A = this chain, B = another copy of it.
Amino acid sequence: MAVYTPVSAEEFAALLARYNLGELRSAKGIAEGVENSNFLVETDRARFVLTLYERRVDEADLPFFLQLLDHLADRGLPVARGLRDRGGRQVQRVAGRLGCLFPFLPGVSPTKPTPAQAQAAGATLAALRREAAGFPGERANDLGPPGWAALAARCGERLDEIAPGLRAQVDEEVAFLLARWPAELPRGVIHADLFPDNVLMLGDTVTGVIDFYFACTEVFAYDLVVSHAAWCFALDGRGFDPAVSAALLDGYGALAIAERAALPLLARGACLRFLLTRAWDWLHTPADALVTRKDPLAYLRRLDFYAANEQWIAA
């Protein structure tokens, strides 16, 4: 559920006047992305998405994100690049927020991905890796291994309000993973949040990859396990689907031997990351709020699965 910064017709028109994109015809807040406000803006010539950056996006990171999108769009990946106004500016100030206007991408996010869709997503992840390898920008992963212990400590004893014993399990898992985390795998810029929500598809074709605002410099194979955990289970973390898993891995293609060996551990780390951020949000959103709190335990179930079934990678 997105929170919207309200934008008036006059503000949309004033924004469009900075470009040569036609006259405003329609503008509607859309339920896309979790952290930012998004609007579908239509002129007499084309459609666009206006993203206004909300609390979790740091202004200092915007050049990294927009340069990454330029880099990937230049290389033919289905991403929307930030449009430049007549003065060459990508970042705009709209309704008191920083924002950027993007071309509209067709497609609908899969809700229950099929193997064919997972195969296409895996191929897209591999293409992102291939093309991001030449991108010079860097951004630390503040939700990566060095941040887990701190995030777990911030949740503290209240983790046991979510499930009895959760704090102890989290502390053990943090210690387990930090002691074994692979140091030498190939690294570069990854999407880091390629859930089905962030992939637009028509049939089995990926028509858009969106919401790069967790993109960061990380082990490349970590991007694959984030997506594996998101694509291969039911939302509640049950019902591992071996066919979707095999298709996603097949679409991604060859991995170095060390990468393949590390996947079970990386997958546990990805689950811990989403478990911790969801736990934090869970503990700081009232139970009776009219927003859907994402269940942290859905990622505990995935973590338990990966810990108990290291052979998933061979499935």
Contacts and interface: CB of A to CB of B under 8 A. Distances in A.
Interface of A: 1, 3-4, 6, 8-10, 12, 24-32, 40, 42, 104, 106-112, 200-202, 285-286, 288-291
A148 to B, nearest CB: 26
**Copies per complex?**
2
A280 B112 CA distance: 38
A31 B4 contact: yes
Given A3-B290, A9-B111, A291-B289, A29 B31 contact: yes
Nearest to A11: B111
22 contacts: A1-B1, A1-B290, A8-B110, A9-B108, A9-B110, A9-B201, A12-B108, A24-B108, A25-B106, A26-B104, A28-B31, A28-B32, A28-B40, A30-B40, A31-B31, A40-B40, A42-B106, A285-B290, A286-B288, A286-B289, A289-B291, A290-B290
Contact of A107 (B26, B40, B111): B26
A96 B202 CA distance: 24
Given A8-B111, A12-B108, 10 more contacts: A1-B290, A9-B109, A9-B111, A26-B200, A28-B30, A28-B31, A29-B30, A40-B40, A285-B290, A286-B286
Nearest to A37: B31
A30 B41 CA distance: 12
Contacts of A107: 25-26
A171 to B, nearest CB: 29
